[in-house]
Amino acid sequence: MTIDWWLLLGFAGQLLFSARFLVQWLVSEKAKQSIVPTAFWYLSIGGSSLLLVYAIYRKDPVFILGQSAGFIIYLRNLQLIKKHEARN
């Protein structure tokens, strides 16, 4: 039996991407309010990066476009967080 490393990469990306919702939910439950922690954005970047590489390998234009747009948004949110932290 051979291992399909590309498929494993795709699943790893999806796992990271999905984990961000678990982290957001746990942090929100602890705070008793809806919160989007910085870890959410790092997991978004990590998952999106792996999924984008996988989408490029699969030559799937819909998947590539979706992950590219998301990646830019996640990166921008991290930039805004860093800028806010630097001011405070």
Q: Tens of pLDDT along 43-87?
A: 999 999 999 999 999 999 999 999 999 999 999 999 999 999 999
CA distance 55 to 2: 21
pTM over 0.75: yes
Output the six-digit token pair for 56: 């490029």
2 pLDDT above the threshold of 90: no
Is residue 85 classed as helix, strand or coil in its secondary structure?
A: helix
